[in-house]
Every structure is written in structure tokens, then in C-alpha cells.
């Protein structure tokens, strides 16, 4: 059975014919899933609009590249282990006690590329975790590998690897990340923030 998935056709427009089985098998072997999914529609459009062959190739490979970028982003985001999913989309700069120029400088992520450390401190509930997670999310969106830990997470990591003397290797894997975030908050604090009890720093 042909497994090619295509978008549902518009009303009155016939569905694009599926790819020949041998072509679909070849695309699977070459690991081009996004081309395999979109090729029937692209080919049908190319025939209807009389595209040049190079335009067909360009459209297919652009879709493959975009699909891979989306998949890579999702993988980096999942691997980071962010606690709540907060990003700068929900951040209100004017409500923060951090000076606007400092916020802007942090968001450039240039300090990450310079391998500088960042310490964010303040009273409980002032949005420190929010800011750090938003910075981490922005790093992921810019192609950085990010690792998120609480102190409890680090303690578990050390205890788990101390028994067989692999702590050094475990820490080395952590340090492969471009940005390592260590949050001092308790896990239950994240739920409290989700309930609207946080204030921005």
C-alpha cells in the first residue's frame, strides 16, 4: 500500500496521483521524508503550471530543507528538557526590573558564543526561571544545544553515575551543550508559576 501522505485536495480539484512505488522506495532509502510527502502535489502543480525542471527540483529540496530544520528544532527543544515551554512571546520587557539594554544584550546570545557565565538572582517569584527558559528557548531556535537542570536533577545525575565511577563522562556529556542552565527553583515552583503567581524580575 502506498504510504505517501498528501494534503486534501481543494473542492472540485482532483487529488494528485501518488508516486510510483519504485520512486517512493528510493526516497525512503535516501531518507527524504519531506520530499516523499510533498512530491505528488509539487509534481501536479509543476505539470499544471509548466514549471521548468530546475523549478521542480528547487521546490522539492526547499521543502526537504525546511522540514529537516523543523525536525531538528523539535529534537533540540525536547532534548533541552525545559520545564514549562515559556518563550519571549509571553515576556513583557516593561514589567521587568532588569534594564532594557541588559535584556536586549542577553537576547542577542552573544554572551553564550563568548562562553561567558550568567547568574540571575532575585526574590522568589520574580520571573528568574521565566527569563532563563526564554533565553534557552531562543538559543534552541538559533541552533544551539541547550541543557536544562535543577539542582535536584544534578544531584540525581551524580548519584546515578557515582556507583560505577562514570561521573566524569556524564559531566562531559552535559558540557557538550552550548548553554547549560541550572535553576535553583523547586519542581513544584513551576506549577505555581503556571498558575499565574509569578512576577517578572
pLDDT score of 21: 92
* The model's pTM: 0.69
Residues 120, 95 share a domain? yes
Same domain, yes or no, for 62 and 103?
Answer: no
pLDDT in tens, 76-95: 999 999 999 999 999 999 88
CA 125, 127, 130 angle in degrees (round to 5)?
130
Residue 131 neighbours by CB under 8 Å, 6+ apart: 91, 96, 98, 106, 120, 200, 201
Position 148 scores a pLDDT of 93
Is residue 12, in this structure, part of any structural domain at all?
Answer: no
Provide the pLDDT for residue 188. 52
166 and 104 fall within a common domain: yes
How many domains does one find in the chain? 2
pLDDT tens digits for 96-142? 888 999 999 999 999 999 999 999 988 877 888 999 999 999 999 99
pLDDT at 169 over 50: yes
Q: Is residue 13 a part of any domain in this protein?
A: no
Of 11, 45, 79, the residue that ends a domain is 79
Mean pLDDT of the chain: 84
Over residues 144-169, the mean pLDDT reads 85
Q: Which domain holds residue 154?
A: 82-197
Same domain, 130 and 42: no
CATH number of the domain encompassing residue 92: 3.40.50.300
Are 73 and 170 found together in one domain? Answer: no
Instruction: Give yes or no for a contact between 183 and 132, defined as CB atoms under 8 angstroms apart.
Output: yes
CA dist., res. 151 & res. 173, Å (int): 17
Q: What is the mean pLDDT of residues 43-56?
A: 92
- The pLDDT, as a whole number, for residue 14 is 58
- The verdict on residue 8 lying in a domain is no
**pLDDT tens column, 170-199:** 888 888 999 999 988 654 544 444 443 334
Mean pLDDT of the region 49-61 = 94
Domain end among 36, 56, 79: 79
Q: Which percentage of the chain shows pLDDT scores above 90? A: 57
Q: Is residue 180 part of a domain?
A: yes
Share of the chain above pLDDT 70, in %: 85
User: Residue 115 has what pLDDT?
Assistant: 93
CA distance 59 to 121: 48
pLDDT of residue 12: 45
CB 86 within 8 A of CB 137: yes
Answer whether residue 2 is part of any domain.
no
Amino acid at each position: 500500500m502506498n504510504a505517501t501522505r498528501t494534503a486534501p485536495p481543494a473542492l472540485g480539484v482532483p487529488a494528485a496521483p501518488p508516486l510510483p512505488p519504485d520512486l517512493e522506495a528510493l526516497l525512503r532509502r535516501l531518507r527524504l521524508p519531506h520530499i516523499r510527502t510533498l512530491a505528488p502535489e509539487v509534481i501536479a502543480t509543476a505539470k499544471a503550471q509548466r514549471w521548468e525542471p530546475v523549478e521542480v527540483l528547487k521546490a522539492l529540496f526547499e521543502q526537504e530543507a525546511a522540514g529537516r530544520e523543523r525536525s531538528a528544532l523539535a529534537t533540540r527543544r525536547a532534548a533541552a528538557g525545559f520545564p514549562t515551554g515559556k518563550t519571549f512571546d509571553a515576556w513583557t520587557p516593561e514589567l521587568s526590573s532588569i534594564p532594557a539594554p541588559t535584556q536586549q544584550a542577553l537576547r542577542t546570545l552573544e554572551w553564550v558564543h563568548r562562553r561567558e557565565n550568567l547568574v540571575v538572582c532575585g526574590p522568589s517569584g520574580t520571573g528568574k526561571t521565566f527569563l532563563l527558559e526564554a533565553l534557552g528557548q531562543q538559543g534552541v531556535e538559533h541552533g544551539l544545544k541547550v541543557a536544562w537542570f535543577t539542582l535536584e536533577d544534578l544531584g540525581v545525575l551524580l548519584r546515578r553515575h557515582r556507583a560505577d565511577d562514570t561521573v566524569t563522562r556524564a559531566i562531559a556529556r552535559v558540557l557538550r551543550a552550548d548553554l547549560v542552565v541550572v535553576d535553583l527553583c523547586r519542581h513544584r515552583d513551576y506549577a505555581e508559576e503556571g498558575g499565574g503567581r509569578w512576577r517578572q524580575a
